[in-house]
Amino acid sequence: MEGKKRENPHLMEDRIRTLKDWLSQIQESKEGKKGRIISICNQKGGVGKTVTAINLSAFLAAYRQRTLLIDLDPQGHCGLGLGIDVDSLDRSIYDTFLNGTGNLTETILSVKPHLDILPANIELAALETELVNDSHRTTKLVDRLQSIKHLYEYIIIDCPPSIGLLTINALVASRMVIIPIQSSFFSLHGFERILETVGTLMETLSLDIKVYLLLTLFEGRLRESWIVREKVKSAFGKHLLHSVIRKTTRLNEATRRGISILEYEPRSMGCYDYHQLAKEIMEIE
């Protein structure tokens, strides 16, 4: 049996340089009030994107920060991860996009103290086709959120694992983007296009988006994880969050049970890691 094909270190260095060039085009504004709408996105699946959206939201709420979690993934995993039967919803984020005259608060569900969710289900998969001829299709979400932004300290958006209309709507609405990166040599493949999209949107729509990278699924026993961490840290500096999310089965177990890691296992390392992430995000904001 053939062993795993190793990543060419020279190709990896070229990829890092490319990504660093993209980040250099994303300028951080030093003036004005910082936004509190944060997108969690990466076109690569399996990097802990939804788990991060759920648990970051839960910890912000635990700090008594009024938080809204928006699910933009047609799979509806944010709702499922918080114990909601998404297949039985009367209204979802899909209705928010199509029926702008409706009351958005009627679609929002209260999950825990200080934590609400705007859930999604499979209906959302048809949205891109239905809005193809709508000249305002990329600003639907930001327009809808204007009426409720004042109700929340934080709005966390979980994007689908693709770069299409839903992700673009999330980026247009956001002032911060967190890109989860799995701690492996192949992790840099997944977010090149995200950075390209952010840079293009900023240029064409005059957006002010702060971009941060988050190492996830980190395995401290593997030398590869530490090498990737040092390379990313060296290349991206201030864009890399100090918080690191370590790999643990407890996080997936909590999601399957429909609760956050804070409720499932408050003494676990996953709970500690997301606690640190929430604290860091509040310090940035």
**Which residues constitute the domain of residue 136?**
33-284
CB 79 within 8 A of CB 117: yes
Residue 276 Cα distances to 1, 17, 59, 231, angstroms: 42, 29, 9, 22
Torsion, Cα of 67, 73, 77, 78 (10° steps): 0
- What is the number of residues in the chain? 285
CB 182 within 8 A of CB 51: no
Identify the pLDDT of residue 9. Answer: 54
Nearest Cα to Cα of residue 171 among 73, 38, 7: 38
CA 206 from chain center: how many Å? 21
Identify the pLDDT of residue 32. Answer: 36
Residue 8 is assigned to a structural domain of this protein = no
Q: How many CB atoms lie within 10 A of CB 280?
A: 15
Q: Which residue has the tokens 């990278």?
A: 213
Residue 9 is assigned to a structural domain of this protein = no
Residue 17 is assigned to a structural domain of this protein = no
| Average pLDDT of span 94-109 | 79
Better-predicted residue by pLDDT, 191 or 175: 175
Residue 79 is assigned to a structural domain of this protein = yes
Better-predicted residue by pLDDT, 96 or 11: 96
Burial grade of 113 (CB within 10 A; 0-12, 13-18, 19 or more): exposed
Backbone angles phi and psi of 81, in degrees to 5: -70, -10
Residue 100 structure tokens: 């702008």
CA 119 from chain center: how many Å? 15
Q: Degrees (nearest 5) of the Cα angle 24, 149, 180? A: 40
Percent of the chain with pLDDT over 90: 53
- pLDDT level of residue 141 (50, 70, 90 thresholds): very high
Residue 226 is assigned to a structural domain of this protein = yes
CB 154 within 8 A of CB 68: yes
- pLDDT level of residue 119 (50, 70, 90 thresholds): very high
Residue 263 is assigned to a structural domain of this protein = yes
What whole-number distance in Å separates Cα of residue 194 and Cα of residue 42? 7
- Per-residue pLDDT tens for 30-43? 333 334 999 998 87
Identify the pLDDT of residue 208. Answer: 80
Better-predicted residue by pLDDT, 96 or 270: 270
- Residue 202: give its domain's CATH number: 3.40.50.300
CA-based end-to-end distance of the chain: 50
- Considering its fold, how many domains does the chain have in total? 1
Better-predicted residue by pLDDT, 1 or 182: 182
Residue 239 structure tokens: 């864009």
Residue 49 is assigned to a structural domain of this protein = yes
Residue 117 is assigned to a structural domain of this protein = yes
Q: How many CB atoms lie within 10 A of CB 14?
A: 11
